[in-house]
């Protein structure tokens, strides 16, 4: 199957370049697509730990935390990502993170 080949290729590339943040991001995304949430979480959290400036991680990790009913972790992740986006001048990423952050805050407020 093509998706199995894609996963095998990504793992092979990661073995060759274990510190490549894009490969870790691609693996996380592939596992998320396959609904392997724990593996996706492992790669996203590893990215935040080892490559905190890899901005694309924060949106997807936050959404995964939401899916896992870890709202506090999602909020913290969005806040960190928004600060990084501000610091790097990435207004598009800031806007996307702010939208999901505002949505989760409103949901928390409405539940009170």
Tell me the percentage of the chain whose pLDDT exceeds 70. 92
pLDDT for the residue 107:
58
pLDDT tens, position by position, 67-107: 999 999 999 999 999 999 999 999 999 999 999 999 999 85
In degrees, rounded to 5, the angle at the alpha carbon of residue 67 between the alpha carbons of residues 63 and 69 is 115
Reply yes or no on whether the pLDDT at 111 is more than 60: no
Classify domain 55-112 by CATH number.
1.25.40.10
C-alpha span between 52 and 48 (Å, rounded): 5
pLDDT for the residue 112:
46
* Positive or negative: CA dihedral 60, 66, 72, 73: negative
Domain boundaries, the chain: 1-52, 55-112
Say which residue the tokens 């990084």 belong to: 84
Reply yes or no on whether the pLDDT at 2 is more than 80: no
pLDDT for the residue 3:
62
């Amino acid at each position: 199957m093509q998706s199995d080949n894609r996963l095998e290729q990504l793992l092979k590339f990661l073995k060759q370049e274990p510190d490549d943040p894009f490969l870790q991001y691609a693996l996380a995304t592939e596992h998320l697509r396959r609904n392997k949430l724990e593996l996706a979480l492992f790669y996203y959290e590893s990215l935040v730990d080892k490559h905190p400036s890899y901005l694309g991680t924060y949106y997807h990790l936050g959404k995964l935390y939401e899916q896992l009913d870890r709202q506090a972790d999602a909020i913290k992740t969005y806040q960190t990502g928004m600060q990084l986006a501000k610091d790097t001048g990435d207004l598009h990423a800031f806007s996307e993170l702010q939208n999901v952050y505002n949505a989760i805050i409103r949901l928390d407020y409405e539940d009170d």
